[in-house]
Structure 1
Amino acid sequence: MSSMTSSSSQGLGSTAFLAVGGAPPAATLRGSRSPPSTELRSRGTGSLLGRPQVTAHGTPAFWAALAASLPLAAPLAAGRKGRKEKRRSATRASLVSLRATDTDTDTDVDLVTQLQLEASKLRAEVVGLEGEREEQLQRDRLALFESFDLDGDGAIDDQELRLGLSGLGLEVDGLELDGPKATKIRQALDKNGDGKLQLEEFDLQAVRNLMEEWRVEERAADLAARAEERQSKELEAEKQAEQEKYASLPVRNDDVGLPTRLASVLAYLLPLMDVLRYGLFFAVLFPVLQVPFSYLDLISQVIGLFPFGLGYLALLLGMQELVKNTELPNLLRFNLRQAVILDFALLLPGLVGQVGSFAAEQAQVEVPMSAELGFAVNGVVFVLIWACVGYSTVSSLLGVTPAGIPYISEKAGAEINDTRPSDDGGSDKV
């Protein structure tokens, strides 16, 4: 019984030492009964548990300490084993990754090579198809050329070209090809100028393009001709309308008798009365003018008897109504209208003077005005009006329309141009 206990104790002790990384004594492993050593080394249980060292293996305290150290030895051994397994797993993963990388690289290289081979094969097929297509086009072109070359001499003349194009249904400007047009097409394609078309010169697409250009040119010429015709018709219609309107006008009264001439001269009394205020100093310088000035002033005073200037207004309106009467002699109507325009022209100097004075007042600028300058301006206005009246009087007394005053005569003639001359002629046309 004692021997079994000793043997069991020795086996347990060996197991404990192995668990904590130590080694049992040789005598214990061999089952020797020699007394245990009197001192536990630094790798014993006491150092692991932080307890006092045991001095003898066979004591109960030693075996109790050894049994208590077993739960601590197991996690240490397991941790050491786990770290070893992790290192082995990492190594295996690295090897697998390297093998996978090598496999992917090889796969990519094989795929690129395969795609390059496929691309080369497609290019070769495309080149082959293009060659076949070009050969087919050449055969079709030769067959078409032979269909035009009726006599088989290897060239197409004008007649063969015309017949071939007509057989294809090609037309120029909607009409069938004739000889001159076929010749024109052949001349456009005949590069060597031998009068015929060889195979290398024969180009049906060029023929179509040329015929299309002719169609465009013909269409443009047709549109231009239609526009010109339409414009000509419009001008003709306008001319006809003017002739119809002119024919509908009343016949002009070309009477130039003495009453007509005197009445034409009297029409200028209106501007002569209004211009007196500009020429009073001429009556002082030239006493001979005092008599006509006094008569004109008397007439002006009679007309001025009507309040608010109604006398002058009635005279102007009356003269304008006489101008509209197409039954009056043309000479009288013209002079009446020209006299009214001259009278309105006398308003311009006064209007300019008033505008200048108003502008000077607004700008607070004093404009020196000498008596000599005022006499000069008034004298220019007076002389111009008397010159126009004198010219019109002389022409009217001669029975000639006084249409020589710039701008004023043009305006007067335009307003009385509502009649047509009589067949037997008469005074000068205005």
Structure 2
Amino acid sequence: MSSMASSQGLGSTAFVAVAGAPRPAALRGSPGSPSFEFRSKGASGSSSGRPEAMSHDTPAASLAVSLAASLAVKRKASRRSATRASVVGLKATDTDVDLVTQLQLEASKLRAEVSSLEAEREEQLQRDRLSLFRSFDLDSSGGIDDQELRHGLHGLGLELDSLEASKLLRALDKNGDGMLQLEEFHLQAASKLIKEWRAEERAAEDASHALERQSKELESEKQAEQEFLASLPLENDDAGLPTRLASVFAYLLPLMDALRYGVPLALAFPFLQGPFSALFLISGVFSAVPLGLGYLALLIGMQSLAQNTELPKLLRFNLRQSVILDVALLVPGFLGSAVSFALDAAGTPVSDELAATGNSIVFVLIAACVAYSTVSSLLGVAPTGLPYISQKATEAISDIRPNAEDGSAKL
């Protein structure tokens, strides 16, 4: 029974240790606790007859006091640790402050040293400038004239003539007294001006050389042109009646080739049937040759005559222009075929009225060109007014040397 009471007392002590502060009723032995039961029974060895509960509660109270003391010691140690950490942090902060202050002092010291070096450098530059000025000032007058400036720059490897030295002096002389004082003496400015002048001189020389080369090239081209003209045969400028008539007959080729386009006009205007009949008669001679060889032979023959440099220039020009007009008739033929094919594919074939109108326009254009060329040729003037066609005809006969107004060779 005594062992049971002891174990129950230890259990109560453990509960006090875990749960925190002990309950007053448990320490005094309340009726609901096991300790109360043990004390109510008592023990025979007691002289006063009082319960023996105090003999068991005294160790529990001691253990609680011990635990409280242990917790107090731990809290005190924690406070000491926190205080020690704060002191260490404060010491670290003081160290950082000292380091920043030291760096600031070092920076101030460096700035002072840099300022001192710059001042010394400026003083040295002023001494060097004064020494250089005195080396230029040969007569020690306190000023440098143009001859002294030229002589001093010569010693530094900068060559100037008298005019350039005077020009440089005027550029540097701020007060206009004709002399350079110390405050006006700037060798770098003088060197910069001289370099600019030299660059301008080089640019002028390059431009002059370019013009010279261009002039030589033009002269060479002119000489080559003269040599080429000298190698050409002399121009035959005959414009007599036979030449004019031959020039007019040259345009029968494009007229005969354009007859197929003028049929609607001949049917519409009876007075045109006579000229058309004559043209058809002449055309029939060439058409009698099978496979179109008659027209081909006429075309080749006219082209060969146009290349003959011994023929008159007027005749050669008209022969060549007539051939170009005849070749140009291929263009409306191709266009008419293309339009007809496109309309047939679209299911709307070309009407007779549209075809007649197009053919009539082509014939009128060719007839107008032939009429202009005929009138001009009869007047003895080359008909050079047809756009593009006349230009090509002129280029084709540019293989002769033109004559001067007096009839001599023109070079």
TM-score by length of 1: 0.73
2: CA distance, partners of 1:195 / 1:95: 85
Please tell me whether the aligned partners of residues 254 and 366 of structure 2 are also in contact (alpha carbons under 8 angstroms): no
Q: What do residues 400-423 of structure 1 show as CA deviations (whole Å, max 9, x unaligned)?
A: 544454543322111011122468
Indicate conservation of the 8 Å contact 2:258/2:363, yes or no: no
One-letter amino acid of the counterpart of residue 73, structure 2? E
TM-aligned CA distance change 1:291 to 1:327, over 3 Å: same
Partner of 1:55: 42
- Matching residue of 1:243: 226
Q: 1:321 aligns with which of 286, 304, 312?
A: 304
Query: Which deviates further from its counterpart, 408-417 or 364-373?
Result: 364-373
What secondary structure sits across from 1:200 in the alignment?
helix
Matched, 1:111 2:99: yes
Q: Does 1:42 align with 2:42?
A: no
Residue 144 in 1 paired to residue 125 in 2?
A: no
- How far is the alpha carbon of 1:308 from its aligned partner? 4.0
Deviation at 1:205, TM superposition (A): 0.8
The 10-residue stretch of structure 1 (375-384 or 77-86) with the greater mean CA deviation from structure 2: 375-384
Letter in 2 for 1:230: R
- Once the two structures are TM-superposed, the CA of residue 159 in structure 1 deviates from its matched residue by 1.2
Instruction: Name stretches of at least 5 consecutive residues in structure 2 with no aligned partner.
Output: 1-8, 14-26
Write the distance in 2 (CA, Å) between the matches of 1:134 and 1:371. Answer: 100
For 1:365 and 1:89, locate their aligned partners in 2 and report how far apart those are by CA, in whole Å: 119
1:166/1:177 contact within 8 Å kept: yes
Q: Which residue of 2 aligns with 1:12?
A: none
Is 2:284 aligned against 1:301? yes
* Aligned-partner Cα distance in 1 for 2:396–2:406: 21
Change (3 A) 1:209 1:225: same
Could you say if the C-alpha distance between residues 379 and 311 of structure 1 is closer, same or farther in structure 2, counting changes exceeding 3 Å?
Answer: closer
Go from structure 1 to structure 2 and tell me whether the alpha carbon gap of 1:277 and 1:138 turns closer, same or farther (over 3 Å shift). Answer: same
Q: Residue 279 of structure 1 contacts residue 382 of structure 1 at CA under 8 Å; is this kept in 2?
A: no
Deviation string, structure 1 residues 78-133 (Cα, Å, up to 9, x no partner): 54443233112101111102211221222222222222222222222222222222
The answer to whether the 8 Å contact 2:302/2:320 transfers is: yes
Aligned mates of 2:389, 2:317 — CA distance in 1: 11
- CA separation of 1:232/1:194 partners in 2, compared to 1, >3 Å: closer, same or farther? same
Flag the 1:257–1:391 CA change in 2: closer, same or farther, 3 A: closer
Deviations 1:342-394 (A, max 9, x none): 22344455555555555666495988948996797467436514412432441
The answer to whether residue 118 in structure 2 is matched with residue 130 in structure 1 is yes
Unaligned runs of 5+ in 1: 1-15, 21-40
2:321 counterpart of 1:341: no
TM-score by length of 2: 0.76
Matched, 1:232 2:231: no
Letter aligned with residue 416 of structure 1: I
Output the CA distance in 2 between the equivalents of 1:57 and 1:152.
Answer: 140
SS in 1 for 2:281: helix
Q: Which whole-Å CA distance do the structure 1 matches of 2:173 and 2:365 have between them?
A: 83
CA offset at residue 312 of structure 1?
1.9
Quick check: 1:408 aligned with 2:357? no
1: CA distance between counterparts of 2:313 and 2:151?
76
SS of residue matched to 1:197: coil
Q: Which has the higher helix share?
A: 2
CA offsets, 1:281-334, max 9 Å, x none? 4698574x6554433211111211234433223322232233233344433322
| Conserved? CA contact 1:149–1:160, under 8 Å | yes
* 1:219-262 Cα shifts (integer Å, max 9, x gaps): 22222222222222322332233223223323344455665454
- Tell whether the 8 Å contact from 1:304 to 1:312 is kept in structure 2 after alignment: yes
The reply to whether residue 388 of structure 1 matches residue 375 of structure 2 is no
Q: Aligned equivalents of 2:156 and 2:409: distance in 1?
A: 73
C-alpha change, 1:137 and 1:367, in structure 2 (3 Å) is: farther
How many residue pairs are counted as aligned between the two chains?
A: 380
C-alpha separation in 1, matches of 2:395 and 2:367 = 26
Look up the match of 1:30. Answer: none
Q: Which residue of 2 aligns with 1:213?
A: 196
CA displacement, residues 35-63 of structure 1 (integer Å, 9 cap, x when unaligned): xxxxxx9379xx7867612635846xx9x
**For the aligned residues, what is the CA RMSD?**
4.2
Cα–Cα, structure 1 residues 365 and 56, in superposed 2: closer, same or farther, change >3 Å? farther
CA distance in 1, matches of 2:356, 2:290: 34
1:195-221, Cα deviation, whole Å (9 max, x unpaired): 111111111111111111112212222
Contact 2:401 2:409 in 1 (8 A): no
Q: Which protein shows a greater Rg?
A: 1
Taking structure 1 as reference, are residues 43 and 85 closer, same or farther at Cα in structure 2, changes over 3 Å only?
farther
Specify the alignment match of 2:20 in structure 1: none
Q: 1:292 to 1:360 in 2, by over 3 A?
A: closer
2:167 corresponds to 1:167 = no
For the pair 1:102 / 2:62, whether they are aligned, the reply is no
| SS at 1:384 equivalent | helix
Instruction: Pick closer, same or farther for the CA change 1:103–1:313 going to 2, 3 Å.
Output: same
1:133–1:109 CA distance, 2 compared to 1 (3 A): same
Mapped pair 1:192 → 2:175 = yes
SS class of match (1:131): helix
Distance 1:388 1:344, change over 3 A: farther
**Correspondence 1:354-373 to 2 at 5 A:** 362=346, 369=353
CA contact (8 A) 1:401 1:427 kept: no
Q: Residues 306, 102 of structure 1: CA spacing in aligned structure 2 closer, same or farther, 3 A cutoff?
A: same
Percent identity, aligned pairs only?
Answer: 56
CA contact (8 A) 1:323 1:416 kept: yes
